[in-house]
Amino acid sequence: MLRTIRSQSMRMASASSRRMLSSAASTSMLRQTLKAPSMTAQVTRPTVMTFKPVLLSRGYADVVEVPPMAESLTEGTLTAFEKDIGDFVEADEEIATIETDKIDVAVNAPFAGTITEFLVKPDDTVTVGQPLLKIERGEGSSSGGSKPPKEKKEEKTEEKEEPAPKEESAPAPKKEEAPKKEESAPAPKKEEKKPAPKEEKKTDATEGLGGFRKEERVKMNRMRLRIAERLKESQNTAASLTTFNEVDMSSLMEMRKLYKDEMLKKTGTKLGFMGAFSKAAALAMRDVPAVNAAIEGPNGGDTIVYRDYVDISVAVATPKGLVTPVVRNVDQLDVMGIEKAIHDLGVKARDNKITLEDMAGGTFTISNGGVFGSLFGTPIINMPQTAVLGLHGVKDRAVVVDGQVVSRPMMYLALTYDHRVLDGREAVVFLRTIKELIEDPRKMLLM
């Protein structure tokens, strides 16, 4: 009896245990099914994250900003981009030009890479630190950015052309026409970019009694606008007055004729007139220091600053306007040293390589309009300077020398000065001293 009871109880226990195992298995399966959506979500999330490394593997485009230009310059006008989108540029290669009030600033690539995007357009006003364009870092040749895709296309066409001979020779020329169309497609795109900068010009054409006539309106560049502003500032601020004299150039021209070849061979610089006039002006300032002074202070100025050095601004004409690079310490240089400095600055100005440091300062200005054939004129003061000396053309004229009428090469001199600083007597004495030193250059050795 007891045995039967024990066997029955064991059977019941085994059955219950089996039920528990089956229920546990079912619950585990249920949990797995419930967890399945979350697992799929976990699987799809890494696929989204892997998209970023793919972009990084292709390269990251860095933003190139407008570089610092100078302490006094904070903005300019983007003249043009020297490269196109997709072009490869080397490190320190010029990629854009910004026109400022005084000079043109070149923007160079900070690293090698491929241009991916322009963030501004030509003729837009840009400020220091403003994003200019994007460059994708990378190494390669200047043509590497555009040639690879074309090579791939050529390879594909070659692969397609292989089965052609098996069938017929007729479709072969049709497939050869496709690359010709692709090669001719980029040509008009390059031509469309060239006329873009000419949008500033506006022409009005009219036809009347005088025939076909037209008017063209061109926006003034920043340098021309700045020159106009400074000239009006000079006229509105300074009490300008001009005094004149004439100088006999016989002695200076004779000295130049005797020594120009020797000086050119020895120094590599031509002997001209500017060196002698600059030296004569620096020596004349010893007797009239007010010519080298300037007014400073509020409300038009209440303080006169006298200087013990002479930095002469030399007016140089460039295609974009008049610039005035400065020859430093003229009072300490000889005539040939001044000529060399003027020549070097003139070359830099005409090659558009002049810097702000070359034009900063200046205590006196000399403008030589005689190189263009000017006979007579009144120069305008370069503020905040006090005076400007104008040189003009050399013409043979009849003059009286020792009671006789003779022909001599003569030049008119004009000195425009600020009457607030310089009195008439001082201005006349200064100009007369220059005249005497030029008519007898040997006096320069005695002063």
423 tagged catalytic: yes
Strand order in the sheet with 75-81: 104-108, 94-99, 75-81, 125-127
Alpha-carbon torsion 355, 360, 363, 365, what sign?
A: positive
Burial 285-311 (b: 16+ CB within 10 A, else e): beebebbbbbbeeeeebeeeeeeeebb
Single-letter amino acid code for the residue at 367: S
Active-site residue among 287, 334, 419, 440?
Answer: 419
Measured distance CA(171)–CA(136) in Å, rounded:
41
Measured distance CA(130)–CA(108) in Å, rounded:
15
Q: Do residues 395 and 270 lie in contact, with contact meaning Cβ atoms separated by under 8 Å?
A: no
Task: Please give the torsion angle defined by the CA atoms of residues 2, 7, 11 and 14, in that order, rounded to the nearest 10 degrees.
Answer: 100
Measured distance CA(104)–CA(223) in Å, rounded:
9
Where helices occur in 141-185 by DSSP H, the ranges are 147-161, 164-167, 171-184
123 tagged catalytic: no
Q: Do residues 412 and 243 lie in contact, with contact meaning Cβ atoms separated by under 8 Å?
A: no
CA 407 remoteness from chain centre: 49
Measured distance CA(86)–CA(84) in Å, rounded:
6
Active site residues: 419, 423
